[in-house]
Amino acid sequence: MHHDHAVRLTRVTRVIGPALAVLLLAGVAALAIVPRLRPAGDDKLVTVHALVGSEKRSFLTDPEVVSVLARAGYRLVVDTAGSREITTRTDLDAYDLVFPANTPQADRIKQARGLTRSYSPFYSPMAIATFRPIADLLARAGVVHTDGPVATFDMHAYLKLVRDHTRWSDLPGADAVYPTDRSVLIASTDVRTSNSAALYLALVSYVANGDEVVTERATAERQAEFAAGLFERQGYLDNSTAEPFDEFLAMGMGKAPMVMIYEAQFLERVRAADGSISPDMLLLYPEPTIFARHTVVPLTDAGDAVGKLLSTSPDLVRLAIRHGFRPSDPAAAAQARGQGAANAASAPPELVNTAEPPSQEISDLMIELIADAYRTGTG
Amino acid sequence: MTRPRMIRQRASRHRMNQHSMNRQNQNRHNMNRRRPRGALVLLIVLATAAAALGACSGSAGTDPDDPGRGGGTLRILAGSELRDLDGLLDDFRRQTGIQVTLEYTGTLDAVDRITAGTTDADAAWLASDRYLRLALGDAPDRSRTIVDRATTMMSPVVLGVRSDLARRFGWVDNKVVTWADVARKVATGEFTFAMTSPSSSNSGFSALVGVAAALAGTSDALTLDDIHPVALTSFFAGQVLTAGSSGWLTDAFVRSATPIGGMINYESEILALNAGALRDDPLTIIYPRDGVITADYPLQLLHADAAHRGAYDRLVSWLRTPDVQRRIATTTYRRPATPGVRLDPAPWPAPELPAQLPFPATSEIADHLLAAYQDEYRRPSHAIFVLDVSPSMRGERLELLRSTLRELAGTGTSTGRGTGTDDTLEQRFARFRERERVTLITFSGTVHDTLEFTVNDPQPGSADLTAISAAADGLTLGSGTAIYSALEAAYRYVADSAAAPADGVAPLTSIVLMTDGENNQGTTADAFHSSYLALPDAARSVRTFTVVFGDARVDEMRTIADWTGGAMFDARTSSLSEAFREIRGYQ
Q: How far is A353 from chain B (nearest CA, A)?
A: 32
Interface of B with A in 363-392 (CB under 8 A): 364-365
The rounded distance, in Å, linking the Cα atoms of B367 and B235 is 19
User: Which residues of B are less than 8 Å from A269 in CB distance?
Assistant: 339
User: Which residues of B are less than 8 Å from A10 in CB distance?
Assistant: 29, 32-33, 40, 43-44, 47
Helix (H, G, I), strand (E, B) or coil at B199: coil
The rounded distance, in Å, linking the Cα atoms of A343 and B293 is 39
Interface of B with A in 278-297 (CB under 8 A): 289-291, 294, 296
A185 → chain B, closest CA residue = B220
Q: How far is A24 from chain B (nearest CA, A)?
A: 8
In chain A, count H helices and then E strands. 18, 10
**Is the pLDDT assigned to residue B486 strictly greater than 60?**
yes
**Arithmetic mean of pLDDT, B468-490:** 95
Residue type, B474: G
User: Which residues of A are less than 8 Å from B364 in CB distance?
Assistant: 377
- Nearest CA to B414 out of B433, B426, B9 is that of B426
**Arithmetic mean of pLDDT, A72-89:** 86
The rounded distance, in Å, linking the Cα atoms of A310 and A206 is 32
Instruction: Name the average pLDDT for chain B.
Output: 85
Contact B29 A47 (CB under 8 A): no
pTM of the model: 0.83
CATH number of B379-584: 3.40.50.410
User: Which of A38-47, A108-117, A262-271, A355-364 has the lowest average pLDDT?
Assistant: A38-47
**Is the pLDDT assigned to residue B52 strictly greater than 80?**
no
The rounded distance, in Å, linking the Cα atoms of B583 and B169 is 35
ipTM: 0.78
Parallel, antiparallel, or unpaired: how do β-strands A97-99 and A144-147 relate? Answer: unpaired
- Nearest CA to B100 out of B114, B113, B81, B86 is that of B86
Question: Same CATH fold, A125-291+353-376 and A42-121+293-346?
Answer: yes
Other beta carbons less than 10 A from residue B518's beta carbon:
13
Whether A262 contacts A126, CB under 8 Å = yes
Contact A90 B61 (CB under 8 A): no
Look at the alpha carbons of B184, B185, B191, B194 in this order and tell me if their dihedral is positive or negative: negative
Interface of A with B in 244-283 (CB under 8 A): 246-247, 249-256, 269, 274-276, 278
Confidence grade of residue A149 (pLDDT, cut at 50, 70, 90): confident
Helix (H, G, I), strand (E, B) or coil at B378: coil
Burial B231-270, CB ≥16 within 10 A → b, else e: bbbbbbbbbbbbbbbbbbbbbbbeebeeebbbbbbbbbbb
Interface of B with A in 328-347 (CB under 8 A): 336-340
Confidence grade of residue A176 (pLDDT, cut at 50, 70, 90): confident
The rounded distance, in Å, linking the Cα atoms of A88 and A77 is 20
The rounded distance, in Å, linking the Cα atoms of B294 and B129 is 11
Confidence grade of residue A350 (pLDDT, cut at 50, 70, 90): confident
Comparing CB atoms, the residue among B148, B218, B339 nearest residue A249 is B339
- Decide if B148 touches A, using CB distance below 8 A: yes
The rounded distance, in Å, linking the Cα atoms of A119 and A327 is 12
Q: Which CATH superfamily, name and number, covers A42-121+293-346?
A: Periplasmic binding protein-like II (3.40.190.10)
* Helical axes B306-319 vs B86-96, angle rounded to 10°: 120
Confidence grade of residue B162 (pLDDT, cut at 50, 70, 90): very high
Instruction: Name the average pLDDT for chain A.
Output: 85
Q: How distant, in Å, are the alpha carbons of A11, A50, A295, B222, B270 from that of A99?
A: 33, 7, 6, 35, 44
Contact A250 B220 (CB under 8 A): no
A254 → chain B, closest CA residue = B355
Q: How far is A234 from chain B (nearest CA, A)?
A: 5
Quick one: pLDDT at residue B96?
95
B38 → chain A, closest CA residue = A20
What is the DSSP-derived secondary structure letter of residue B373?
I
Q: How far is B175 from chain A (nearest CA, A)?
A: 11
The rounded distance, in Å, linking the Cα atoms of A324 and B244 is 46
Question: How many alpha carbons fall within 13 Å on the CB side of residue B278?
Answer: 21
Asked if the A125-291+353-376 domain carries CATH number 3.40.190.10, the reply is yes
For chains A and B, CB pairs below 8 A equal 203
- Tell me: the pLDDT tens digits for B184-206? 999 999 999 999 999 999 999 99
- Decide if B63 touches A, using CB distance below 8 A: yes
Domain ranges of chain A: 1-37, 42-121+293-346, 125-291+353-376
The residue with greater pLDDT, B58 or A317, is A317
- Nearest CA to A120 out of A134, A138, A106, A139 is that of A106
The rounded distance, in Å, linking the Cα atoms of A58 and A367 is 28
Query: Domain spanning B155-295: which CATH class is it, in words?
Result: alpha beta
- Decide if B422 touches A, using CB distance below 8 A: no
Contact A96 B60 (CB under 8 A): yes
The rounded distance, in Å, linking the Cα atoms of B65 and B308 is 9
Contact B50 A10 (CB under 8 A): no
Confidence grade of residue B326 (pLDDT, cut at 50, 70, 90): very high
Comparing CB atoms, the residue among A183, A237, A274 nearest residue B220 is A183
Comparing CB atoms, the residue among A20, A43, A253 nearest residue B62 is A43
Other beta carbons less than 10 A from residue A317's beta carbon:
26
Whether A251 contacts B154, CB under 8 Å = yes
Q: How far is B354 from chain A (nearest CA, A)?
A: 5
User: Which residues of B are less than 8 Å from A9 in CB distance?
Assistant: 43, 46-47, 50
- Decide if A34 touches B, using CB distance below 8 A: yes
Quick one: pLDDT at residue B503?
59
Q: How distant, in Å, are the alpha carbons of B3, B113, B251, B524, B569 from that of B11?
A: 14, 20, 20, 29, 11
Quick one: pLDDT at residue A371?
93
Quick one: pLDDT at residue B80?
87
The residue with greater pLDDT, A5 or A198, is A198
User: Which residues of B are less than 8 Å from A255 in CB distance?
Assistant: 294, 353, 356
B320 → chain A, closest CA residue = A250
The residue with greater pLDDT, A260 or A377, is A260
The residue with greater pLDDT, A354 or B65, is A354
- Tell me: the pLDDT tens digits for A46-77? 999 999 988 898 899 999 999 999 999 999 99
Confidence grade of residue B385 (pLDDT, cut at 50, 70, 90): very high
The residue with greater pLDDT, B118 or A20, is B118
Strand partners, A258: A130
CA B374 to chain centre: 15
**Arithmetic mean of pLDDT, A139-157:** 94
- Nearest CA to A307 out of A79, A100, A14 is that of A100
**Is the pLDDT assigned to residue A191 strictly greater than 80?**
yes
- Tell me: the pLDDT tens digits for B505-527? 789 999 999 999 999 999 999 99
Look at the alpha carbons of A213, A216, A222, A226 in this order and tell me if their dihedral is positive or negative: positive
Establish whether the linkage from the previous residue to B156 is cis, with ω within 30° of 0: no
Domain ranges of chain B: 1-60, 155-295, 379-584
Quick one: pLDDT at residue B480?
93
- Decide if A17 touches B, using CB distance below 8 A: no
Quick one: pLDDT at residue B54?
38
